[in-house]
Amino acid sequence: MKKIAIIGGGAAGLAAAIAAGNELARLGAADECEIVLFEADPERVGRSILATGNGRCNFSNAHIDPACYRNADFVEAALRSLARLSEVSEWGSVQPVGAYGASAQGRAQPAGAFEAPVQRFFSDLGLMWREEGEGRMYPAANKASSVLDVLRAGAAAAQVRFAFGRTLSRIDAPTRAKGLLHLRFSDGSIEHADAVVVCVGGRAVSGVDFPAGIHVEPTRPVLGPLATDSRITRQLNNIRVKCAVSLERSGSLVAREEGELLFRDYGVSGVCVFNLSRLACEGDVLSIDFLPHMPAAERDAWLFARRKHLSARLGENGQITAENVLRGAMLPQVAQVLCKCAGIDPARPLSKKDVLALSRVIGGLCLTVRGIGDAKQCQVSRGGLSVAAFDSQTMEAVCASGLFAAGEALDVDAPCGGYNLHWAWSSGLLAGVSAARSVVSADGEGEGE
Ligand SMILES: Cc1cc2nc3c(=O)[nH]c(=O)nc-3n(C[C@H](O)[C@H](O)[C@H](O)COP(=O)(O)OP(=O)(O)OC[C@H]3O[C@@H](n4cnc5c(N)ncnc54)[C@H](O)[C@@H]3O)c2cc1C
């Protein structure tokens, strides 16, 4: 009996296991090869999936652009390869009839080549979903557990065996052609397999020893809050604002995001900050624009018009203060902090010079980045298995045949919006199908090693 070992039962591992089982069945080889999924958790697979999307699981995106991924060329080649595979493999033959979305017609647009394989995979498993803003896709039941339910059922149907409490610590390549891969676990136990798919995620990958030639880039948590100079942010702790945030390095723009920002006593959080955290370095500057749809000249004109309007209304005795001018445009706490940063006393009459200084700060409150704010809140790790060591057509290691990798274990990450899980499913499906094919096409010369 041959064996495919899947290491890690998160999104990528479950997709790989199901795809491998379905492909073996399609090739008429289900009785010749077992699929064992080794999971470090002592009692269950998919725990990491349950925490995603605030428990709702933003499992994919209706508009996948490979350019938004780290190592974009590798990702694009892999997604194209999966699209070709899904045209011929049975797991991809079901149309996404369960899909419905938030388009004008009330139905999802037909999926493109980069999205279709994942949608077909889940449609085949019976999942219904809903498309929300910016193409974010959630299960119709609005619970991450419904995604895990269909995956567990899919794994059972594909005859995947789970081995819990097994933490891989080392993989050795076969010593001769078509030999078996050797797996060493942290409890000292050893297993052999014809093919191995490594899906241990981003945090754990640096704890595994790989065969020579497979390099692991140092990992660090990203897609999380940023620590900044806190003198300003702690005065606004727990306040949310809709704004645009620019990440600047040495005066040049690195990236810009629009959305909700949450001030914390240590820095800033919110989806737009999470996305910028992938690119931010210590010493970079975050410039927050509180009125992003108002160009600078329009903002100046608006402030002067407010001052004039108030002066006409309040007459000679009324004080035209910054507090009065900004009332209704933003929360008083925010207005007070902006005044302080502009060097204005919010209770004193507002001069022309003050108006211009205030306008500048409203359009660009600057905070210096100190690093990641809270690693525990980070959604992915940057770094991991170097993609240069893997073939994007199959996800197989170039220098160790039979060894495949998928998901966040590879040095691939993306912004919020369902892109990271989309990569986990896609790369898992590609690796699972490729592993099954590699085992079936091998002539079994190495068995019993
Ligand atoms: C709070 C949070 C919310 C998120 N929300 C979203 C979202 O809504 N949409 C989105 O696209 N992305 C989201 N992400 C990111 C997404 O969850 C990951 O990109 C994705 O889960 C990666 O899947 P994976 O299978 O590669 O790794 P993981 O999900 O990390 O799975 C790895 C599995 O391997 C097991 N394992 C680890 N080491 C070993 C070992 N040595 N031996 C055996 N088993 C091992 C682990 O126990 C785990 O089960 C979120 C992440 C977090 C933390």
Task: Please name the residue whose Cα sits nearest to atom 53 of ligand 1.
Answer: 379
3-state secondary structure of 299: helix
> How far apart (Å, rounded) are the C-alpha atoms in residues 33 and 126?
26
Query: And the tokens for 426?
Result: 């896609």
* Region 158-178 average pLDDT: 92
Contact 424, 15 (CB under 8 A): yes
pLDDT of residue 317: 65
Select from 118, 113, 122 the least CA-distant residue to 77: 113
Task: Please name the residue whose Cα sits nearest to atom 6 of ligand 1.
Answer: 52
The answer, yes or no, to whether residue 272 has pLDDT greater than 60, is yes
* Region 431-441 average pLDDT: 95
How far, in Å, from the CA of 283 to the mean position of ligand 1? 30
Q: How far apart are the first and last CA of the chain?
A: 13
How far, in Å, from the CA of 202 to the mean position of ligand 1? 7
Tell me the percentage of the chain whose pLDDT exceeds 70.
92
How far, in Å, from the CA of 13 to the mean position of ligand 1? 10
How far, in Å, from the CA of 94 to the mean position of ligand 1? 27
Q: Which domains are assigned to the chain? A: 2-221+379-441 (3.50.50.60), 224-372 (2.40.30.10)
Task: Please name the residue whose Cα sits nearest to atom 15 of ligand 1.
Answer: 379
How far, in Å, from the CA of 258 to the mean position of ligand 1? 26
The answer, yes or no, to whether residue 387 has pLDDT greater than 80, is yes
How far, in Å, from the CA of 330 to the mean position of ligand 1? 38
Taking only the tens place, the pLDDT of each residue in 109-167 is 567 889 999 999 999 999 999 999 999 999 999 999 999 999 999 999 999 999 999 99
> How far apart (Å, rounded) are the C-alpha atoms in residues 430 and 23?
11
Taking only the tens place, the pLDDT of each residue in 6-43 is 999 999 999 999 999 999 999 999 999 999 999 999 99
Task: Please name the residue whose Cα sits nearest to atom 52 of ligand 1.
Answer: 379
How far, in Å, from the CA of 150 to the mean position of ligand 1? 17
How many Cβ atoms are within 10 Å of 348's Cβ, its own excluded?
Answer: 14
The answer, yes or no, to whether residue 99 has pLDDT greater than 90, is no
Contact 153, 125 (CB under 8 A): yes
CB-based contacts of 101, cutoff 8 Å, min separation 6: 62, 107, 108, 109, 130, 131
pLDDT of residue 123: 92
Q: Which DSSP state fits 330?
A: B
Task: Please name the residue whose Cα sits nearest to atom 3 of ligand 1.
Answer: 52
ipTM over 0.90: yes
Task: Please name the residue whose Cα sits nearest to atom 5 of ligand 1.
Answer: 52
Select from 364, 363, 305, 38 the least CA-distant residue to 193: 38
Q: What is the DSSP string of 52-109?
A: GGGGT---EESS--GGGSTTHHHHHHHHHHHHHHHHHSGGG-S--TTEE--STTSSPP
> How far apart (Å, rounded) are the C-alpha atoms in residues 440 and 434?
10
Average pLDDT, the chain: 92
How far, in Å, from the CA of 380 to the mean position of ligand 1? 8
CA of 420, closest atom in ligand 1 = 11
> How far apart (Å, rounded) are the C-alpha atoms in residues 426 and 420?
10
Select from 222, 262, 221 the least CA-distant residue to 243: 262
Task: Please name the residue whose Cα sits nearest to atom 22 of ligand 1.
Answer: 408
pLDDT of residue 102: 40
Taking only the tens place, the pLDDT of each residue in 32-72 is 999 999 999 999 999 999 999 999 999 999 999 999 999 99
Taking only the tens place, the pLDDT of each residue in 301-342 is 999 999 999 888 876 666 788 988 999 999 999 999 999 999
pLDDT of residue 90: 55
> How far apart (Å, rounded) are the C-alpha atoms in residues 295 and 221?
35
Contact 264, 286 (CB under 8 A): no
- Pocket residue to mutate for ligand 1, from 420, 426, 427, 430, most atoms within 8 A of Cβ: 420
Strand-pairing partners, residue 240, are: 262
Residue type present at position 275: N
pLDDT of residue 177: 67
Contact 427, 406 (CB under 8 A): yes
pLDDT of residue 45: 98
pLDDT of residue 316: 63
Taking only the tens place, the pLDDT of each residue in 390-434 is 999 999 999 999 999 999 999 999 999 999 999 999 999 999 999
Q: Using a 6 Å CB cutoff, which residues line ligand 1?
A: 7-13, 38-41, 47-48, 51-53, 57-58, 167-168, 199-201, 204, 208, 379-380, 407-409, 418-421, 424
* Region 103-111 average pLDDT: 51
Contact 222, 278 (CB under 8 A): yes
pLDDT of residue 110: 65
